[in-house]
Structure formats: structure tokens, C-alpha cells
Amino acid sequence: AQSVSQHNHHVILSEAASLELGCNYSYGGTVNLFWYVQYPGQHLQLLLKYFSGDPLVKGIKGFEAEFIKSKFSFNLRKPSVQWSDTAEYFCAVTLTGGGNKLTFGTGTQLKVEL
């Protein structure tokens, strides 16, 4: 069965620090990749997605992610975080032809300190 691993469960950064959150998936077929964010008390929101094409995708709020097929990875990055980026971040995968079923990673809780 497919799985998604997020290795960092809790990350604490100071404002203006750079961010990279790891995401690896285990599946040999064609995948669609997503990063969702959940701000405190709010619903999951889509940050960015990769279906095909340029493996470097840019999302909202200055986030980007790079799909490296050989490493089965889709790491999330932001050059300079803000206090308002404090949230939980989920990596997720669907399989092409898999009925749009999302498999989520366990999430990374990011805290940005002033």
C-alpha cells in the first residue's frame, strides 16, 4: 500500500529563517502530489500541487516544492518564514487512476517565533 512520510513532526523557526519540510512517498506508479496547510482552528487549505511538467512548483504565500522522482520526494520550501506561517503542514498523494483518494502524511507542526 502507498504511504507518505513526513520526517519532521515539529519544527520551530525564527522569523525570516528558511524552511524545508521533507516528504517522501512509497509508490512506483504515477502520482499526484499535494501540500496542504491547516492554520489553527481552520480547515485544510491547498498550498500547492504537482501533476506533471516542471518539477518545481510554486504555490501560495511564497511556498514552493520540488518533485524529485528518483528520490520519491516532494519537499516543501520557503526562503523566509513569517509568524503567520505557524500551522500544521500535510503532504499528500493520489495515484493516477486511483479515484482521487488522498493518502496523507502524519503532518508537521511548524511554529514560527518572533
CB-neighbour burial class of residue 70 (10 A; exposed 0-12, middle 13-18, buried 19+): exposed
Q: What is the closest distance, in whole angstroms, from the C-beta atom of residue 46 to other proteins in the complex?
A: 6
Give 70 or 97: the residue with its C-beta nearer to other proteins: 97
Give CA–CA dist 52/38, Å, rounded. Answer: 25
Cβ proximity to other proteins, 28 vs 41, nearer residue: 41
- Residue 32, all three cell numbers: 499526484
Under the binding rule (CB under 8 A), the answer on residue 7 touching other proteins is no
- Tell me which amino acid residue 95 is: L
Report how far residue 65's alpha carbon sits from residue 22's, in angstroms, rounded to the nearest whole number: 10
Q: How far is the CB of 113 from other proteins (least distance, A)?
A: 21
Of the candidate residues 107, 111, 112, 114, the single one contacting other proteins (CB under 8 A): 107
Site string for other proteins, 9-48 (x = CB under 8 A): -----------------------x---x-----xxxxx--
**Considering only CA atoms, which of 82, 58, 57, 81 is closest in space to residue 67?**
57
Q: Which one of residues 54, 97, 100, 114 is an interface residue with other proteins (CB under 8 A)?
A: 100
Q: Rounded to 5 degrees, what angle do the CA atoms 96, 78, 40 make?
A: 80
Q: Which residues of this protein are in contact with other proteins, per CB under 8 A?
A: 32, 36, 42-46, 49, 51, 90, 94, 99-107
